[in-house]
Structure 1
Amino acid sequence: MSRTPSSRTATIAKIAVIPVALIASGLVVSQASYSAYSASTSNPTSNWSSGTVQLSDDDSNAALFSASNLKPGATGTKCIVVTSSGSLASTVKLYAASVATTKALASSITLNVTQGSGGSFGSCTGFTPAATNPSVFSGTLESFGTTATSFATGLGSWAPTGTATESRTYQVSYTLAANAPDSTQGGTASVALTWEAQNS
């Protein structure tokens, strides 16, 4: 069967279109691999760290008092320096970690705690009471041990700012009442003083 010139032309035209289409698709693929624009921004690595609340004292693990053979009217005074070195503002309270007594001796011992500056553990040489709110406690040892038993019921008005190391001296005095009853003879009394700081 013979084809007319026009049909041969049409066939040739169709065949010629195929390579052109393949070439065109190749160009699209080639261009796609080079046509991705991009941009980004980033923030430097984020970091977190917690602050600190730290308290220490200059007692070298020694008891403030170890008084024995007391008689009515006996008295004594010593000092202890408490230091705040934490980075957070805090409130410091004094309370009795434990109080023990026999023959009700604690009810005949008066305890006075005054806050200020100067002095050192065991010695109050150079101690100066604070200009405002110097008295921390004044009452019987029994009262101290039953009313100030935790931070929530603790005593004192010291509030370190956390911006620098701060110290506070506490002067502690005791007196066995001059009229202590005979029933307190041979009695004992003890207390563990605790200073606790909590961040504001």
Structure 2
Amino acid sequence: MAAAGLVMSAGMVWQASYATFDDSITNPGNSWETGAVTLTDNANGAALFAGYGTNLPPGTAPSRCIEVTYGGDVTADVRLYLARLDDYGQELDTLLTMKVELGSGSSCASPGTWTPIFNTTLRAMPGDWASGLGLWAPDGSAKETHPYRFTPAIAADNAVQGDRVSADFVWEARSR
């Protein structure tokens, strides 16, 4: 009898140790979507000075304008820098001054106020995003276009006769 009571008592303790309260709640439908940075220009990526730079005399050459559009949906910094500068072992990169201006308007036809952002030799132009020329920080709420005007000037120095230089202008946007 004592043994039966012990088994019965152990069964009740065992059952009581497995009796619990529990509850749960689910928060369904979580998802994440990233923003994007997008840059385009009205030259469709073609050279700004294609067919322009042959037989140039010393002095200021005609300006060229390009419209750059930020179409991203996040706040970003847009900067301009030079890539793939090739002086072909000559001196024109140090004797060609490039004046670069950023317009406050939305097109080359309606540039608004021009703000100078660079005006020294092509060789001195920044060569990466970290040191790039920037004054433009679109907030990503809508497409935003700004014109850039480039005005080259060649030094009146006999050392540039027959020289050439080539480079790529790069606009890069990085989200904040």
Change (3 A) 1:50 1:125: closer
Q: Are residue 195 (structure 1) and residue 149 (structure 2) matched?
A: no
Q: Which residue of 2 aligns with 1:43?
A: 27
Q: 97, 114, 117: which one pairs with 1:110?
A: 97
Tell me, yes or no, if the aligned pair for 2:79 and 2:136 is still in contact at 8 Å. Answer: yes
Tell me, yes or no, if the aligned pair for 1:114 and 1:129 is still in contact at 8 Å. Answer: no
Give the SS at the match of 1:126.
coil
Structure 2: which 5+ runs fail to align? Answer: 1-21
Tell me, yes or no, if the aligned pair for 1:84 and 1:166 is still in contact at 8 Å. Answer: yes
Identity rate of aligned residues, in percent?
34
Q: 50, 70, 77: which one pairs with 2:56?
A: 70
Distance 2:170 2:59 in 1: 27
Total equivalences in the alignment: 152
Q: Which residue of 1 aligns with 2:117?
A: 136
Q: CA deviation at 1:142?
A: 1.6
Q: Which residue of 1 aligns with 2:145?
A: 167
Two-structure CA RMSD over aligned residues (Å): 1.9
CA deviations 1:38-82 (Å, max 9, x no partner) are 976432311111111111111123211131001112412011111
Q: Which residue of 2 aligns with 1:83?
A: 69
- Normalised TM-score (structure 2): 0.79
Larger radius of gyration: 1
Structure 1: which 5+ runs fail to align? Answer: 1-37
Task: Tell me the amino acid that sits aligned with residue 137 of structure 1.
Answer: F
Higher percent of residues as helix: 1
Moved over 6 A (4+): none
Matches within 5 A, 1:177-192: 177=155, 179=156, 181-192=157-168
Task: Tell me the amino acid that sits aligned with residue 94 of structure 2.
Answer: S
- Normalised TM-score (structure 1): 0.70
Tell me, yes or no, if the aligned pair for 2:106 and 2:144 is still in contact at 8 Å. Answer: no
Give the SS at the match of 1:114.
strand
Q: 80, 105, 120: which one pairs with 1:94?
A: 80
Q: Which residue of 1 aligns with 2:5?
A: none
Distance 2:77 2:23 in 1: 51
CA deviations 1:78-101 (Å, max 9, x no partner) are 111111111110001110012111
Q: 154, 158, 163: which one pairs with 1:176?
A: 154
